[in-house]
């Protein structure tokens, strides 16, 4: 599965962008060897909680090869997951940093970094097969933490949410897995710098979402 994601070239625009970023690099990472390919999810195969984001960050996961690793969004996410007992450490800087997730799996709707963090509808559709393959293996998942409106919209579509509420921090919905199991969705504002620097998302807010996710997963 991971190799299929890494080698996927279904979306020419995304392939061109991810490789250009890996080639040109950000000055602060000029000595790093960028991943520059599709980024698969990772975590505990027996996860009960799925954390769903939009796509890899250009100089985060597109550089390190692991979701929410090497950027400030990841700093917020894994700090919250560590507090909740879902991660063994509060930081994620590289694929070899020793991070282990407990009863959690972290992934994204789109597997390649998109320009301006805005994948097209066709790119989302092309990538659906990769997300679907992940979900087929994660048979214990009972809660999806949706990081941002894009993740929530796609989770509602994926899990056939009949009564979709308007996206908002802490909003919950109920869906159904392809096998017929009920699944809970809970929303969080994305831990992007735009949200964390402005105070739209605070640490107590994201901590509360993960506390609720654990409660729902029991």
Count CB-CB contacts under 10 A for residue 99: 24
Q: 3-class SS at 101?
A: strand
Domain that holds residue 106: 2-217
Count of domains forming the chain: 1
CA distances from residue 119 to 59, 72, 112 in whole angstroms, order as listed = 16, 21, 9
**183 - beta bridge partners?**
175
pLDDT per position as a tens digit, 89-99: 999 999 999 99
pLDDT greater than 80 at residue 1:
no
144, 52 in Cβ contact below 8 A? yes
Q: 3-class SS at 53?
A: strand
pLDDT greater than 80 at residue 194:
yes
Q: What is the pLDDT of residue 179?
A: 83
pLDDT per position as a tens digit, 104-157: 999 999 999 999 999 999 999 999 999 999 999 999 999 999 999 999 999 999
pLDDT greater than 80 at residue 70:
yes
Q: pTM for the full model?
A: 0.96
Find the CATH number of the domain harbouring 73: 3.40.470.10
User: For residue 20, which of 32, 35, 36, 40 has the smallest C-alpha distance?
Assistant: 36
Count CB-CB contacts under 10 A for residue 151: 25
What does the DSSP assignment read for 71-98?
SHHHHHHHHHHHHTTSBSSS---STTS-
């Amino acid at each position: 599965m991971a190799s299929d994601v890494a080698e996927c070239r279904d979306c020419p625009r995304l392939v061109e962008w991810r490789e250009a970023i890996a080639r040109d690099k950000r000055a602060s990472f000029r000595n790093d060897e960028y991943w520059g390919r599709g980024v698969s999810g990772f975590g505990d195969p027996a996860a009960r909680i799925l954390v769903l984001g939009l796509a890899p960050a250009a100089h985060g996961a597109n550089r390190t090869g692991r979701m929410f690793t090497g950027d400030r969004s990841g700093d917020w996410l894994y700090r919250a997951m560590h507090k909740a007992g879902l991660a063994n450490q509060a930081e994620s800087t590289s694929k070899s940093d020793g991070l282990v997730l407990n009863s959690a799996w972290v992934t994204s709707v789109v597997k390649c970094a998109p320009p301006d963090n805005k994948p097209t509808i066709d790119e989302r559709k092309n990538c659906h097969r990769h997300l679907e393959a992940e979900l087929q293996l994660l048979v214990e998942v009972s809660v999806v933490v949706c990081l941002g409106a894009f993740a929530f919209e796609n989770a509602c579509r994926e899990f056939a949410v009949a009564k979709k509420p308007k996206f908002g921090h802490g909003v919950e919905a109920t869906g159904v897995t392809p096998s017929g199991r009920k699944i809970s969705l809970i929303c969080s504002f994305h831990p992007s710098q735009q949200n964390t620097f402005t105070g739209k998302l605070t640490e107590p807010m994201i901590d509360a979402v993960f506390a609720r996710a654990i409660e729902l997963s029991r």
